Structure formats: C-alpha cells, structure tokens
Amino acid sequence: MKKLIFLLLAFLAACTSTETKKATSGSAVIINETVVASAMERIKTSQPGVDQTLLEKGIRHAASLWREEDGNPSDFIEFVKANYISDPVRRKEIFTKISNYMESVNGHFNDITLDLKKNLDEAAGEIDQIDQMYGNYSVGSHLSDDFFSNKIAFAIALNFPYYPLAEKEKLGPGWSREEWAMARLGDLFVSRVPANLNQALNTALGNCDMYIAEYNICMGKLRNEEGKQLFPDDMVLLSHWNLRDELKANYANKENGIEKQEMIAKVMERIINQDIPEVVINDPDYEWYPFSNKVMQNGKAIEAAREPDTRYDLIVKTFRAMKDIDPYNPEMNTAMMRKFSWEMEISQEEIAALFDSYLRSPQLKEVGKIISQRLGRELKPFDIWYDGFKTRSTIPEELLTSKTQALYPDPAAFRAGMPDLLVKMGWDRTRAEYLADKIVVDPARGSGHAWGALRKGSVSHLRTRISDKGMDYKGYNIAVHEFGHNVEQTITLYDVDNYMMTGVPNTAVTEAMAYVFQNRDLALLGMKDQAPDKEKMEILDVAWQMMEIMGVGLVEMKSWDWLYENPDATPAMYKETVIRNAVDIWNKYFAPVIGINDSPLLAIYSHMVNSPLYLPNYSYGHVIHFQLEEYLKGKDLARELDRIFKQGRMTPQQWMMGAVGQKISTQPVINALDRVLQ
C-alpha cells in the first residue's frame, strides 16, 4: 500500500464551502454580505478592469475563513484592499513564489516526519516508548494555525480561491495547466482545524500503525487437532497481508495445501472475532490449536485469555478523533465525505453504486464455477483469494523464493537492481537510472509501503520485509508493487510541470500504477509465461480480485456509517457491527457465487485499523488499472506511463480521459469477461 502522508494542509483537513456562513472554529463567521460587497467595491474602484467573477470568489472564500481573532470587518476590508492581485502577470509571479515556498515547507516537514518515524516503520531493533512519542508527533500540526495567524492563508484564499469538485469537473476541461495548478493551490486553505485535533488524530493513527505492524502469527507454533505442525518453525506471518498471501501460495500445494488454507482461514476468523488468545500474538513460546482454540506451553494446556477488543477499540478511537474535526468542515462534516468527495474526488454514493453494480454481475457466478472446476471441489469462503489464474500459482513458491533470495539478499541488492527492472519494463538505461536514483530501499517492520518525497532533492522510500535469508517471493511481490508506487511518486514530483500539480488524482490511481508493475513480477524475474490462455486468465483474475476487494470496501463503508449513527458505541458493539456487516455483505453478494452463507472473512483486512477508509481505493485502483492495461496493449509501456503520469493531479475522471480517452468504468471488465466466458 501507499503510505498516506498528511503534511499538506489539504490533507490535514477537508474542504468547506466557500459560501458557508456557519461557525467552524468556535467563533462565528463575522464577515457578512455587506462587508463582502464593500470589499468588492473597494477593489473595483482601485483596480478597474478586475475579473469580477474571480474577485467575488476570492473574497467570499477568504471571508468564510475569517474569525474574530483575525480582526474586525474593517480589518478584513483593509486586508483585501492591500492584498488582492488583479494583474494576471503579477498574480502569476506571486503564484510561482508560493509554489516554491510550499515545496520547501512540505518537503522538509516530510523529511523530518520520515526521520521521526524511522524506528517505527523500519526493522531497526526494539521500539521504546520514546520512539512512539516521537513517531506519533506531527511536525505539521500547527502549520495551519500559523499560516492563518500570519495571514498567509488569507492571502492565498483571496487570490487563489477553492473550487469544489463539481466546479472542477465543469470548468477543468477548459483550464490551462497554469489554471489547474492555481486551482490546486486553492485547495490548501479550505477549513480551520485546531492543531490539537490534528495532533490527536495523528496519535490515534500512529497507535493503529504500531498495533498492526507487530500483529504477527508464529505459524510454526500452530497445530491441527491431531497436534500436527503444518508450517515451518521459522515462519512468522503478519496479519492480514502475509496470512492472505500464504493462503494464496498454497493453491499450488497438492499435498496439504487445503489443510493449511483452512487453518489460516480459522486464524483469520479468530482475529476478526477477537477470541484469539492474546498470548499467541507475536509470541513463539506457545503452541496454539486454532480450531479448538487450545493453548499449550511446555507440553501442558494453559488457560489463555482472549485478546481484548483492541482491534475495534483502536478504530473507535480513530473515528472519534476524526469526528472531533467534523465541526470545522461544515460542508464535508463526516470523515467519509472528506475521504471520498475531498480526497478521492468521487462521492461515497458513486463509489457504492459502482461496487454494487459490479458485484451483482451474473458473470461472477460463472467465474466461480470455473474456479470450482479447476479446484475439483466445491468452493470455500477463503476461495475469495483464489490465486490459480496467475501462472505463478503453478510454479512452486520454493523455486520462486530461491530465485529472489539469490538476487536480493538484502535491501541494498534490491536497490542496486532497480535500474535493471526499469530497463526490462521498457525505459532506456539513462531514464531508468534517473528514476531509480531517487528511490531508496529500507527493511520494513510491517508488510511494506511506499513513502514518496515532497520536494525535489529528496528521495522516495520503498519499505519491504527482507529476512536474514534474503527476500522471499512474497516480499519480492510486495516490493515490486511498492516500486510501482515509488516510480509514480518520482515522475509526478520531478517531471510534472508545476509543483502544485504534483502527485496523482487520488490513491486509487497510484494503486493502478503499482498493479502495472506487480503484474509483471515474473517477467522481471526473467521467467517466461508459457500459458496458452494467458489473456483469459488475467481477465478472470482481475474480475475475481475486484469482487473480493469491493466487498471489503463496502463492509468498511457500512461500518463507518453505523459509527456516525452510534457515536457512543463501545468497541464490543462496534465489533459485533463489523462482523454483522461482513456477513450481510457476504450473504448479499458472495454467497450466491461461493455457495456458502455467513462468512465473516471480509472483515480481516488490517487497513480497517491502520488506514481507515483506504480500502475503496484498491477497488477503484483495480478498475483504473484494467482500463490502463487495455489501453497499453501494443504500445510503448514506458513512454506511455511517463506521458500519463506527467499529467499530475487533475480530477480522476479528467485524468483518465487524458490517459486513455475514457472515463472510469467497470464496463470494460464486464465486456472482457463476456468475451472470455464465451
């Protein structure tokens, strides 16, 4: 996954309407229509020929943010008179200066944050309390307050006003690149969230990160009901990523693969239900029988208390930290609205409708029948992670791991090999080295992530797990995915024409780039895919993955909706709700395909804890990825990826039109399914 960074003010707080007259920071908005009109007249008198539409928008935007502590109405009028820029040439000069300043501020704060979180994110020994204190500290939490106090925020809001999503969609197709960049600058100051609330949210998220990063299952200590050990002594898997990937890997295991898969699925259920014995989490001193939930120590059965509802307690605390911010965003007054309409720039309703229409597709039942035929058995709930459409699933993982461990014994070896990987994907040697030189590789404490730079001169960080034996295939597969993120981060920082356009429309788009890389992991190992039905298998694989991850996203969205309806819920109440929602979504969409009711497995994803409301990005990313891959067929891959990602941060739909000439839709996947199912 891509590491989320909330350093820019736009990421610290969500947008509010520029026309709202509601209180947002405990002090009522004091600039009324009379004051706005007076300020406008002063400018029109002193600066004849001013663009009146832009003037009104800027004044109203600044007025919506002005509070008593900023000055009285007369002070506001004087501020407008002294700071409004009507001359387009002068406005462009000021915009360039602000862009440079913001790159410095954001970039250096990002670098500091990386340093402070280093011991939490990287496998660098024991974590002390002081590490957590520094790692959870948000260096940018007071930046918003400071910029409002020194009036920088008002100068930007006045001259570069905010355009809501609907206006961006309407006006954006006619904007120049410069107008787009100025509109993105207008996104920075759209609400006023107190620094202590931003810091509280950062602390809550930091605690979630730590919990998930150390949620390991010692697989060599698991026993079936006959007391048999199924997994190697030294196998330690992080929930949920490594557990899921080990489950996938065992589709190629004809000896006891299904027994291993059933045990992993039971472990997942124990985690979801929070009846997993607390002592077996990240501790190799106990033998655990997941089916009966018995725990043994030194050959004797012991009483082992279940894990408290920690998983759900952390989510509830994060929810409350986000809810405390809601009043400061009157037009985006829930975390969901800020996540979707603001961050993803697509409404929750549109996302839910997209997922619902796809999950109802009758073609998915046909895919399920194909999987059942290939497995030679009835489907089981864990088959939502069926991996047999991938060619590598027919290749023993031991062979893949022996190759990756030889190539990449440590992080330095993977970094040294990155230019070669890029050359294999189509970049010339010079361009490959240019991109790879701006990425470093670190050993991850968790499953891995990509953390991008925010200023030219800094580097992106690729974090992945590498054991003393070298990078196993699971780690390699994740590393290639994260490498895709890093390449996108590098292109969209260093090669985009204006700093304010840095990045991509949303995290779904960068997930699409990561999938482009990850899908080529075997080719990058020099292993040729000889499968005669390769294209058909890829389409079936994508369709099945999209089904699974869309269901997971719907579970989280439904659960957060419930939290807003029940804000005083206890962790135990929320646990029951998440499980109920997971079962309901399963029975509605998955049971007709799988043939089994009441599975809670959709609730296992760790993102629900440490990356709240991130999961819909994966589904959206799959949709975008499929459209990209369809477009890229027969084209120069590297050249097209450079062109596409140099667009920078437009809205998702406009970005997609520029990338492939179509809006975002699941219809291409459905059409492809129809084609291969025939």
**Complete DSSP assignment for 259-283:** HHHHHHHHHHHHHHHT-SBGGGBT-
Residue 493 belongs to domain spanning? 398-524
Whether residues 551 and 501 share a domain: the answer is no
Whether residues 408 and 374 share a domain: the answer is no
Residue at which a domain ends, from 132, 164, 184: 184
Whether residues 156 and 85 share a domain: the answer is yes
- Enumerate residue ranges in the chain where pLDDT < 50: 1-27
Q: Is 2 helix (H, G, I), strand (E, B) or coil?
A: strand
Whether residues 376 and 404 share a domain: the answer is no
Residue 488 within any structural domain of the chain = yes
Residue 69 within any structural domain of the chain = yes
* Count of domains observed in the chain: 3
Give the per-residue pLDDT at 8.
Answer: 44
Whether residues 494 and 540 share a domain: the answer is no
Whether 185 contacts 161, CB under 8 Å: no
Give the per-residue pLDDT at 5.
Answer: 36
Q: What is the pLDDT of residues 117-147, one digit of tens each?
A: 999 888 878 889 999 899 988 888 788 889 9
Q: What is the pLDDT of residues 2-23, one digit of tens each?
A: 443 333 433 333 333 333 333 3
Give the per-residue pLDDT at 187.
Answer: 92
Give the per-residue pLDDT at 361.
Answer: 97
Whether residues 16 and 148 share a domain: the answer is yes
Residue 274 within any structural domain of the chain = no
Gap between the Cα atoms of 195 and 145, Å rounded: 7
Whether residues 575 and 440 share a domain: the answer is no
Whether 664 contacts 621, CB under 8 Å: no
Whether residues 414 and 560 share a domain: the answer is no
Q: Cis link prior to 625 (omega < 30° from 0)?
A: no
What is the chain's alpha carbon radius of gyration, rounded to the nearest angstrom? Answer: 26
Give the per-residue pLDDT at 4.
Answer: 39
Gap between the Cα atoms of 155 and 144, Å rounded: 13
583, two tokens: 């079962």
Instruction: Flag whether the pTM goes above 0.85.
Output: no
Give the per-residue pLDDT at 17.
Answer: 33
Gap between the Cα atoms of 445 and 466, Å rounded: 10
* Mode of pairing for the β-strands spanning 300-302 and 448-451: unpaired
